[in-house]
């Protein structure tokens, strides 16, 4: 009669003696540890509701700026940052931040220069950040919630804390169940705008989504720019630049049209021109 062995890691010697086996002195054995369930982001076809909380280490800048924060402090403080790109630059060590959260605009420009936006896109982004408080030339990274950067039509993923269930909703717009493309993000932005209407907010949300896709996304085998669910989670939930990302060889190539898209660009110009 064969000896039955429980499943266990390679090299495990745990076994149950059968009735026919001669008596043996008891041998102390360890019960094999239960194998943790695979994350849905290791298997993009798995249900989306699982394992949204576990943060993985993201991209780390090879040229770290000085930081007054411990790793634990950074992890806690990054949850206060509603913008995934700003949170990612903060966690990657690219953005210089004072102990009270102050970021000087030249330091933001320096961090953005490593990501790839054109000078026009950088100017739009820094102007928006500089207008979040009454102090010219700087902004507070940890006090952006409730500032004029808040807008209608937001995903809500990083608004006043991190809300993984809103990320599940974002992923539900994926057409292939594995990736998020510009079309998927636009469809999601429409849904978020219906939840919280406002033309300016719709354009802002679409611009934010396209900006992070243009900067941090990659091309699928069919040439379509996308995020995998794992890459999207890294940005939107964990507030980290995906570990697979690398700085562009030629910075400054991402223009306003890339960020907004043709339709949104026309609406954006109407708003800017007051028409």
Looking up residue 208, the CATH number of its domain turns out to be: 1.10.489.10
For residue 8, being part of any structural domain is answered with no
Answer yes or no: is 118 within a domain: yes
Structural domain that includes position 91? 71-273
The per-residue pLDDT of the chain, averaged, comes to: 77
User: Is 164 within a domain?
Assistant: yes
Residue 221 neighbours by CB under 8 Å, 6+ apart: none
Q: Tell me what pLDDT residue 39 has.
A: 36
Backbone φ and ψ for 225, nearest 5 degrees, come out as: -70, 135
Please give the tally of structural domains in the chain.
Answer: 1
In Å, how far are 21, 24, 33, 61 from 29, measured between CA atoms? 18, 14, 12, 45
192 in helix, strand or coil?
helix
Phi-psi region of 93 (alpha: psi -120 to 50; beta: other; left: phi over 0): left
Are 131 and 124 in contact by the 8 Å Cβ rule? The answer is no
Instruction: Judge whether 1 lies within some domain.
Output: no
Does residue 60 sit within a domain? no
What are the tens digits of pLDDT across the range 193-217?
Answer: 787 666 665 667 777 888 889 899 9
153 band by pLDDT with thresholds 50, 70 and 90: low
* Percent of the chain whose predicted confidence (pLDDT) is above 90: 45
E strand map for the chain:
102-104, 138-140, 179-181, 218-219, 225-228
| pLDDT at residue 26 greater than cutoff 60 | no
Confidence of residue 175 (pLDDT cuts 50, 70, 90): very high
CA-closest candidate to residue 261, choices 195, 193, 187, 191: 187
For residue 144, being part of any structural domain is answered with yes
Q: In what order do the strands lie in the sheet with 179-181?
A: 179-181, 225-228, 218-219
pTM over 0.95: no
Q: What pLDDT, on the 0 to 100 scale, is given for residue 96?
A: 97
């Amino acid at each position: 009669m064969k000896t039955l062995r429980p499943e266990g890691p390679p090299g495990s010697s745990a076994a149950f003696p059968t009735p026919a086996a001669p008596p043996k002195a008891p041998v102390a054995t360890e019960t094999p540890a239960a194998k943790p369930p695979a994350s849905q982001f290791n298997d993009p076809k798995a249900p989306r509701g699982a394992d949204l909380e576990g943060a993985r280490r993201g991209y780390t800048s090879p040229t770290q700026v000085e930081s007054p924060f411990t790793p634990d402090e950074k992890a806690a403080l990054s949850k206060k940052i509603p913008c995934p790109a700003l949170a990612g630059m903060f966690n990657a060590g690219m953005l210089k931040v004072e102990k009270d959260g102050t970021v000087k605009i030249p330091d933001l420009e320096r961090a953005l220069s490593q990501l790839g936006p054109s000078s026009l896109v950088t100017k739009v982004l820094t102007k928006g950040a500089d207008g979040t408080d009454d102090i010219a030339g700087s902004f507070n990274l940890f006090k952006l919630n409730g500032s004029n950067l808040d807008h209608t039509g937001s995903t809500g993923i990083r608004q006043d804390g991190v809300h993984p269930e809103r990320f599940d909703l974002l992923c539900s717009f994926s057409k292939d169940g594995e990736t998020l493309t510009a079309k998927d993000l636009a469809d999601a932005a429409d849904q978020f705008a219906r939840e919280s209407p406002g033309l300016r907010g719709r354009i802002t949300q679409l611009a934010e989504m396209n900006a992070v896709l243009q900067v941090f996304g990659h091309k699928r085998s069919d040439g379509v720019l996308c995020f995998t669910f794992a890459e999207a989670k890294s940005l939107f939930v964990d507030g980290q630049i995906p570990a697979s990302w690398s700085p562009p060889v030629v910075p400054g190539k991402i223009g306003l049209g890339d960020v907004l898209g043709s339709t949104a660009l026309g609406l954006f110009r109407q708003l800017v021109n007051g028409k």
